[in-house]
């Protein structure tokens, strides 16, 4: 389900804090009520291999994201208790000790199903019985949500492919530039580079200078 240009689903989900507290988070309200952008990233499972590298990478980028008025929220379909156990496992042992942003525990898969990001397929066999395949865990889906709750980026990676956190910083910078200046950002745009006006003259001027 393509969400870009639409409001993020208005759903509350259990979450686990670094202190071991379980509470509810509504991603849409986090953006709108706090007037902040939200970077929501899903990963397949706790206690796996690529996943902790991503969680630590987002943690390392928290300062840069905070400068950009952006909240980070992780998410999987593990239980809050499993999240807390992983939070209490050292980095040397593949854990995520030191992660400070909240992690959604979408145990009932309500939000993940709404987003259509689960590795799950259903079909009928020759006896007209339902056959299920897949791990029923989320792919590496990422959503960037603006201060009004609108999704301005979504992407989904297959399980083995980790994300590049710097690309999300670039996307947030580009969207903030559009918000502030009303210009559009061409291919490979980065903060400090030339943007352009969204008309023929603007494109012609940009191309003539690049």
DSSP SS3 for 19: coil
CB of 126 closer than 8 Å to CB of 95:
no
Question: Of the candidates 76, 19, 83, which has an alpha carbon nearest to the alpha carbon of residue 42?
Answer: 76
| Per-residue tens of pLDDT for the chain, all 210 residues | 689 999 999 999 999 888 888 999 999 999 999 999 999 999 999 999 999 999 999 999 999 999 999 999 999 999 999 999 999 999 999 999 999 999 999 999 999 999 999 998 766 667 777 666 678 999 999 999 999 999 999 999 999 999 999 999 999 999 999 999 999 999 999 999 999 898 888 777 878 888
The residue ranges of every structural domain in the chain are 12-162, 164-210
Q: Which two tokens stand for residue 3?
A: 């969400």
97, 74, 67, 86: which is closest to 163 by C-alpha?
74
| 168 to 96, 162, 164: CA distances (angstroms) | 21, 13, 7
pTM: 0.92
Tell me the catalytic residues. Answer: 51
Indicate the class that CATH gives domain 12-162: alpha beta
Distance CA 106, CA 8 (A): 16
The span from the CA of 24 to the CA of 6, in Å, is 23
């Amino acid at each position: 389900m393509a969400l870009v240009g639409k409001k993020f689903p208005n759903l509350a989900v259990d979450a686990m804090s670094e202190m071991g507290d379980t509470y509810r988070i509504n991603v849409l309200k986090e953006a709108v009520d706090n007037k902040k952008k939200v970077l929501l990233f899903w990963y397949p499972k706790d206690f796996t291999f690529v996943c902790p590298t991503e969680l630590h990478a987002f943690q390392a980028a928290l300062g840069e994201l905070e400068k950009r008025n952006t909240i980070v929220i992780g998410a999987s379909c593990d239980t809050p208790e499993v999240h807390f156990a992983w939070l209490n496992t050292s980095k040397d042992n593949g854990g995520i000790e030191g992660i400070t942003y909240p992690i959604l525990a979408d145990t009932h898969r309500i939000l993940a199903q709404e987003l259509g990001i689960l590795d799950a397929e259903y079909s009928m066999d020759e006896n007209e019985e339902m056959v299920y395949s897949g791990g029923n865990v989320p792919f590496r889906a990422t959503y960037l949500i603006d201060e009004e709750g609108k999704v301005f980026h979504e992407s989904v990676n297959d399980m083995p492919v980790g994300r590049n956190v710097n690309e999300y910083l670039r996307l947030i910078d580009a969207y903030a530039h559009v918000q502030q200046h009303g210009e559009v950002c061409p291919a490979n745009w980065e903060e400090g580079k030339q943007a352009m006006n969204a008309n023929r003259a603007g494109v012609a001027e940009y191309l003539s200078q690049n």
